[in-house]
Amino acid sequence: MTILLPAVHAREIDLHGESAYPEEGAGVLLGLIENGDLRRVRRTLPLPNRWEDETRTRRYRIDPLDLLDAEEKAEEDGLTILGIYHSHPDHPPRPSDFDLERALPFYTYVITEVRSGGAGESRAWRLAEDRGRFEEESLTVVPDQMEDR
């Protein structure tokens, strides 16, 4: 399980987390699946955090209609939604029990720690088939000049 994240998109994810701070910021990762299970991110799409109350510092919610929209945009470009990224303000980039309870299979969940407003480490996770836990997915940031576009 590997997800390749071009540096330009890694920066977009960091910036989104920083601009949303101290609230959580989230969006979707669009891309392609190659050779079985190698995932390559081609685009990020920031989405509004629609969690209803002030606890957006600890929670995020992506509206189904926003997600449907994103899915349609992905399909127009011949891409697929590989996963979801979100920030953990002042918390480590590992999924919480709350993340586990709400997680969907298949998606790669990229979590970025944003400490005191500055983006830190990002890690990728995927829900295990038995829904009982997350498995870490290898997250490789691809330097810009190596990106084959």
Query: Which spans of this chain sit near other proteins (rule: CB under 8 A)?
Result: 21-24, 26, 51, 54-55, 57-65, 67-68, 71, 80-81, 84, 86, 88-91, 95-99, 101-107, 109, 116-117, 131
Between 107 and 141, CB nearer to other proteins: 107
Which of 12, 23, 24, 113 is an active site residue?
24
Q: How far apart are CA 57 and CA 52, in angstroms?
A: 11
Cα–Cα distances in Å, from 75 out to 64, 68, 80, 114? Answer: 16, 11, 6, 31
Cα–Cα–Cα angle for 128, 41, 45, nearest 5°?
95
Query: Of 10 and 81, which CB lies nearer to other proteins in the complex structure?
Result: 81
What's the closest the beta carbon of residue 148 comes to other proteins, in angstroms?
Answer: 24
